[in-house]
Chain A
């Protein structure tokens, strides 16, 4: 057991730290999503030039070939310094790894480089209006027509569809097969007639995600990934990658939030003292810090296990569940500390921290929904870790 970084890991951490300090572009613009995306594209270009985009990807595909620990260090350090997100998050975290794992040589040639440069943005077409947690029940149909597939259906919660060139689309190619077996994974060109993305406004007032209407869109046969009928297996790998990659960034982000929460408590006057002297607030702050520490240590244990076995296990679900809980609780406590001022939003003259906690309170409601709901994660843990029987 050794919870410290080895000398070479420390050296890597220092290299990452220094590079980020020197190249950090500052906070994201507060204006609209367009400006934010432009800012993130520029940032990803910088990351790519320095070899930090796709650090987990093998070198032969333009990545850095970093070890799992190095990836964790990079993600943690970037989050610690609050570096912006790259523009092509889904392409880097899911699209690229899927093409590398399941794609043909031609697909690797064609798709990987523009993911790294953010020249082409990717989105994920999994969920549908009637297929959320029960993803395998999805109804979007793909029918073979010569050497093309004709796709019709509707996707939803599609983040950044409005900017995307490619969609990781899972569609039903065999309606007669059992539901998990009749699916195929496609790369669909978003820039075609028959594909229309309509932004959905979220409870924060922003529009990160979309509905995507697909009406006889065309996908050439060479854009099938992992073979016809293997869509479920390919999709599951992407979800695993999504969860594994998130953990260490989430840990640093929570550490920053906890620091801000402590500052808020120290700055907020209540009952002739500060909120940081209130015993109830102190107990809750302590408990959140303890839970954050267990989450960090769980992630280390998970990382060690993944290094031994090669694949992230279902235990990763624990971390995602815990992250959602902690993140939500932090902003809930912040609003509690703000007291009556909790009602004031960004732009209000007397808003605390210009409404930052109001935003995170609202945004974090989605944490227990996005990327697998907490209820579904509990099912996964019950069934796949504890071996309890399935209800279905």
Chain B
């Protein structure tokens, strides 16, 4: 029993912390928030140089071959830095290809993805649906050897800059669709989170060749989904950590009634609560990340616990930090609102806290502990 990062994992953390801190200062994040793509290609290329796009992908396909614990370390730092980057969408697409693709698809799509040369993004939720994980409406109509896709996907991350999509259909399968393919239209959506781009992707008579539909069934994607939940929960933990630190610094500095406000228990106890939620979130995330790598049968429950907890902490802690800051925390000029919005967006993505709690209830109230289906 040893629950701490190894030296190698600490090194990943230190590299990520330094790299991201140097690139994503407040002015830069604001510039990118107003830009068209929301991130900088040059940054992406540097991240690719560090091996990040393929961090948790198999070495066989050009990845680093590291685990979900290492991935969680990286994403916690992405959240801490509030980094605007397509790394999350690309990572989820990469995991889907690695776990569910054919060798031919891995060769054509995963290898360049892991190298950071091409980017993928999952296109899951359908316009008009409630975005419930695992439930898709888009019909894949048989057409010769392949299928034809008609429908509209929403809440697709980084779609405008992705090279290809993994489009989910009602039968639970995923189809590889190039962004530039005939019949694909990408339109931006305004998100509360200015550090991550969302789009709708309209598919009109988009033909998918037989070799571009992944061979896996819906249930095969659950391990991908749970890993994505862990990565996103790790990111929310980083948001909580950073905004807690901002609150503590401010509370030490800001004087009212002749004392630093952090000396008042109304403020200091709020900060203690922030620490509790941040540490709980971190424990749940690394517990689930470890399960993904070492005890896959526990991942389903552990990932839902982590995503439920971190979904709440990921916006409540930034919100508490805004309260500690008072009026200045509510201004556009202060960075806190970016953290709050990213946290709230993360909470809404890959299953809300309530949705994951329902899965946990299903699991703990079952006679025998059988994980619930997604």
- Mutual binders A and B: yes
Q: Could you tell me which A residues sit within 8 Å of B by CB distance?
A: 1-6, 9, 69, 258, 262, 265-266, 276, 279, 282-283, 285-287, 289-291, 293-295, 297-298, 300-301, 303-305, 308, 315, 318, 321-322, 375, 377-379, 381-383, 385-391
Chain A nearest Cβ from B270, distance in angstroms: 9
Residue from the list B6, B262, B294, B364 in contact with A389, Cβ < 8 A: B262
Residue pair B365, A282 in contact (C-beta under 8 Å): yes
Identify which of residues 248-275 in chain B touch chain A, using a CB-to-CB cut-off of 8 Å: 248, 251-252, 259-260, 262-265, 268-269, 271-273, 275
Q: A3-B3, A283-B354, A381-B275 are in contact. Are A290 and B365 (CB under 8 A)?
A: no
Chain A nearest Cβ from B272, distance in angstroms: 4
Q: A285-B361, A286-B357, A291-B280 are in contact. Are A381 and B1 (CB under 8 A)?
A: no
Q: A5-B1, A9-B1 are in contact. Are A382 and B271 (CB under 8 A)?
A: yes
Q: A6-B1, A386-B275 are in contact. Are A293 and B305 (CB under 8 A)?
A: yes
Decide yes or no whether B104 CB sits under 8 A from chain A.
Answer: no
For the complex with contacts A276-B365, A290-B360, 8 further pairs of A-B residues with Cβ separation under 8 Å are A294-B284, A294-B305, A300-B1, A301-B4, A382-B271, A388-B262, A391-B264, A391-B268
Residue in chain A with minimal CB distance to B295: A4
* Across-interface contacts of B264 in A (CB, < 8 A): 391
Interface centre among B262, B279, B294, B302 (most CB of A within 10 A): B279
Chain B nearest Cβ from A373, distance in angstroms: 12
Residue pair B268, A69 in contact (C-beta under 8 Å): no
Decide yes or no whether B5 CB sits under 8 A from chain A.
Answer: yes
* Across-interface contacts of A388 in B (CB, < 8 A): 248, 251-252, 260, 262-263, 268, 271
Decide yes or no whether B102 CB sits under 8 A from chain A.
Answer: no
* Across-interface contacts of A289 in B (CB, < 8 A): 305, 360-361, 364
Q: Could you tell me which B residues sit within 8 Å of A by CB distance?
A: 1-6, 9, 69, 248, 251-252, 259-260, 262-265, 268-269, 271-273, 275-276, 279-281, 283-284, 286-287, 290-291, 294-295, 302, 305, 308-309, 354, 357-361, 364-365
Residue from the list B265, B291, B360 in contact with A378, Cβ < 8 A: B265
Residue pair B268, A382 in contact (C-beta under 8 Å): yes
* Across-interface contacts of A285 in B (CB, < 8 A): 361, 364-365
Interface centre among B1, B263, B286 (most CB of A within 10 A): B1
A-B contact pairs, 15 of them (CB 8 A): A1-B2, A69-B1, A262-B365, A285-B361, A290-B308, A291-B280, A293-B287, A294-B284, A297-B283, A304-B2, A375-B265, A378-B269, A385-B275, A386-B272, A388-B252
Expressed in whole angstroms, the Cα–Cα distance for A386 and B260 within the complex equals 14
* Across-interface contacts of A266 in B (CB, < 8 A): 365
Expressed in whole angstroms, the Cα–Cα distance for A99 and B237 within the complex equals 42
Chain A nearest Cβ from B4, distance in angstroms: 5
Interface centre among A1, A287, A301, A304 (most CB of B within 10 A): A1
Residue pair A318, B9 in contact (C-beta under 8 Å): no
Q: A287-B357, A303-B3 are in contact. Are A389 and B252 (CB under 8 A)?
A: yes
Residue pair A1, B280 in contact (C-beta under 8 Å): no
Residue pair A375, B365 in contact (C-beta under 8 Å): no
Residue pair B364, A262 in contact (C-beta under 8 Å): yes
Expressed in whole angstroms, the Cα–Cα distance for A262 and B364 within the complex equals 8
Residue pair A294, B309 in contact (C-beta under 8 Å): yes
Chain B nearest Cβ from A12, distance in angstroms: 11
Expressed in whole angstroms, the Cα–Cα distance for A2 and B279 within the complex equals 18
Residue in chain B with minimal CB distance to A259: B364
Residue from the list A258, A283, A375, A386 in contact with B357, Cβ < 8 A: A283
Expressed in whole angstroms, the Cα–Cα distance for A379 and B266 within the complex equals 11
Q: A378-B265, A379-B265, A388-B251 are in contact. Are A2 and B2 (CB under 8 A)?
A: yes
Residue from the list A294, A300, A379 in contact with B3, Cβ < 8 A: A300
The 7 closest A-B CB pairs, nearest first, are A297-B283, A382-B268, A294-B280, A286-B357, A282-B361, A388-B262, A286-B360
* Across-interface contacts of A300 in B (CB, < 8 A): 1, 3, 283
Expressed in whole angstroms, the Cα–Cα distance for A279 and B359 within the complex equals 12
Expressed in whole angstroms, the Cα–Cα distance for A287 and B304 within the complex equals 11
Expressed in whole angstroms, the Cα–Cα distance for A344 and B112 within the complex equals 67
* Across-interface contacts of A391 in B (CB, < 8 A): 259, 263-265, 268
* Across-interface contacts of B359 in A (CB, < 8 A): 286
Q: A293-B284, A294-B283, A298-B283 are in contact. Are A382 and B309 (CB under 8 A)?
A: no
Expressed in whole angstroms, the Cα–Cα distance for A320 and B26 within the complex equals 38
Residue pair B364, A258 in contact (C-beta under 8 Å): yes
Expressed in whole angstroms, the Cα–Cα distance for A375 and B262 within the complex equals 15
* Across-interface contacts of A4 in B (CB, < 8 A): 1, 294-295
Residue pair B276, A322 in contact (C-beta under 8 Å): yes
Chain A nearest Cβ from B271, distance in angstroms: 6
Residue from the list A69, A282, A294, A386 in contact with B358, Cβ < 8 A: A282
* Across-interface contacts of B290 in A (CB, < 8 A): 1-3
Expressed in whole angstroms, the Cα–Cα distance for A295 and B283 within the complex equals 8
Residue pair A298, B280 in contact (C-beta under 8 Å): yes
Q: A262-B365, A297-B287, A388-B263 are in contact. Are A1 and B275 (CB under 8 A)?
A: no
Chain A nearest Cβ from B255, distance in angstroms: 10
Residue pair A1, B4 in contact (C-beta under 8 Å): yes
